[in-house]
Amino acid sequence: MGRLKSLDDWLSWQENLHESVIDLGLERIQIIFNKLFPNGMPFKVITVGGTNGKGSTIAFVDSVYAQSEHNVGRFTSPHLINYNERFAVNGNIVTDTQIIGAFEKIEAIRGETSLTYFEFSTLAALQIFADAEIDIAILEVGLGGRLDSVNVVDNDICVITNIAIDHTDYLGDTRELIGREKAGIMRANKICICGDENPPNTLMDYAKTINALLEFVDQPYFGKIGLEGEHQKHNAAVALRVIETLQSQFPVSNDLIQSGFEQASVVARFQKIMVGDKQVILDVAHNSAAVDKLIDTLKTSNAKTVAIFSALADKNIDDMIDLAKDTFTHWFLVPLDVERAIQIELLHAKFNTELTTTVCQDMNSAIDNALALDDIQRVVIFGSFHTITDATLILRENEVLFP
């Protein structure tokens, strides 16, 4: 390996270090983790898994602690525009220098052990947080739970937001199978807070097997929150239970909790901007359960609405279209320049002739065409993180959306 200087250099090198992009399992990362942290984590760990709602739940918890006297680190994925978005300390995105410093420490002890891109980022998060001497780390599970690299850490408390059908190639095609994978982040005699109102039996069975202290949250949070949608009140209630559970170690006032919840924000979760006289909504809803919540939130307004949509080939696109078909008067379909994307011809073929569709050359033309419709008030862009990334870059270039 030659001398890597910039963050881009490091990331390009990491993308080709391991033979496959996704390679679930803890064997490789465990070796490096034990070398980096022979005495375990020097901070308390909250691990957050589940199908949807992870980012929002983390945002609520992080927003509260970031305003408190306690130092908090946040690790989430994927990033939307900049890799640095994955890591924050006390609410502030970390610098290239901090990330590269962590990479150098990992590489110095890696030896012959091959690591995936995500394994590198997980270890980097832990090293960045250790260097920053934080008190609490909030770690988002990337995929599943049991074999995800974040699960190399023994958490002090974990969250499972919900269980829905997604990533079936890796996790199984039923809620029971997926539930067992998500349950893998539980630890014996440690609290797990679950936000699923109808949890699969595998989740509860595993908790009993290892004697995890499983709690359920079935009432929404009734205060004001900074995120839109009824489902976000449920995510806030889960976040509140996490904070309450840690209150004896990391006390925060009720006023601080209220203020933190009101100021919580997540990029591209029903993110609203105005472009001229039209509202544009960016949302990373990319599976059936998330689209269902998106449509419920859209129904609170009668605004005439069109969609800009694209998705990855391994998603249940038919279900997503079926759930959303009555909400949009026009669908603008966009190709994605990523390996896992569905071909635009195959995507178009999924729409029946009763739905009005336009196949666009790229995101730029999709946004132009949608905004050019005089009789609509709202444009909703959704379908995958890649879709939102493309849209965000276009809107920033046109000085509509700023970082």
Residue 27 clears pLDDT 60, i.e. is over it: yes
Residue 173 clears pLDDT 80, i.e. is over it: no
Cα–Cα distance for residue pair 126/178, rounded to 1 Å: 26
Q: DSSP secondary structure string, 14-66? A: HHTTSS-S----SHHHHHHHHHH-TT--SSEEEEEE-SSSHHHHHHHHHHHHH
Q: Does domain 7-263 have CATH number 3.40.1190.10?
A: yes
- Calculate what percentage of the chain has a pLDDT beyond 90: 88
Residue 100 clears pLDDT 60, i.e. is over it: yes
Q: Could you read off the pLDDT of 176-211 as tens digits, one per residue? A: 999 999 999 999 999 999 999 899 999 999 999 999
* Per-residue model confidence (pLDDT) at position 329: 96
Distances (CA, A) of 100 to 6, 82, 97, 280: 8, 14, 5, 36
Q: Could you read off the pLDDT of 53-73 as tens digits, one per residue? A: 999 999 999 999 999 999 999
Structure token digits, residue 20 = 């496959």
**Residues in Cβ contact with 260 at an 8 Å cutoff, skipping those fewer than 6 apart:** 60, 63, 64, 65, 66, 67, 252
* Per-residue model confidence (pLDDT) at position 2: 55
* Per-residue model confidence (pLDDT) at position 403: 44
Better-scored residue on pLDDT, 167 or 42: 42
Q: Which residues make up the CATH 3.40.1190.10 domain(s) of the chain? A: 7-263
Cα–Cα distance for residue pair 367/254, rounded to 1 Å: 43
What's 285's DSSP letter? -
Q: DSSP secondary structure string, 303-318? A: --EEEEE--BTTS-HH
Structure token digits, residue 349 = 């073929």
Q: Could you read off the pLDDT of 354-391 as tens digits, one per residue? A: 999 999 999 999 999 999 999 999 999 999 999 999 99
Structure token digits, residue 130 = 């250790």
Q: Which residues make up the CATH 3.90.190.20 domain(s) of the chain? A: 271-397
CB 178 within 8 A of CB 52: no
Residue 20 clears pLDDT 90, i.e. is over it: no
Q: What is the mean pLDDT of the chain?
A: 94
Which CATH architecture is the domain 271-397 placed in? Alpha-Beta Complex (3.90)
Cα–Cα distance for residue pair 31/16, rounded to 1 Å: 20
**Residue 286, SS3 per DSSP:** coil
Q: Could you read off the pLDDT of 303-348 as tens digits, one per residue? A: 999 999 999 998 999 999 999 999 999 999 999 998 889 999 999 9
CB 254 within 8 A of CB 78: no
Cα–Cα distance for residue pair 304/292, rounded to 1 Å: 18
Helices (H), 184-229: 201-210
* Per-residue model confidence (pLDDT) at position 339: 87
Residue 170 clears pLDDT 70, i.e. is over it: no
Residue 172 clears pLDDT 80, i.e. is over it: no
* Per-residue model confidence (pLDDT) at position 5: 86
**Residues 371, 374, 375, 379, Cα dihedral to 10°:** 10
Q: Backbone dihedral region of 48: left (phi > 0), alpha (psi from -120 to 50 degrees) or beta?
A: beta
Radius of gyration of the chain (CA): 21
Residue 254 clears pLDDT 80, i.e. is over it: yes
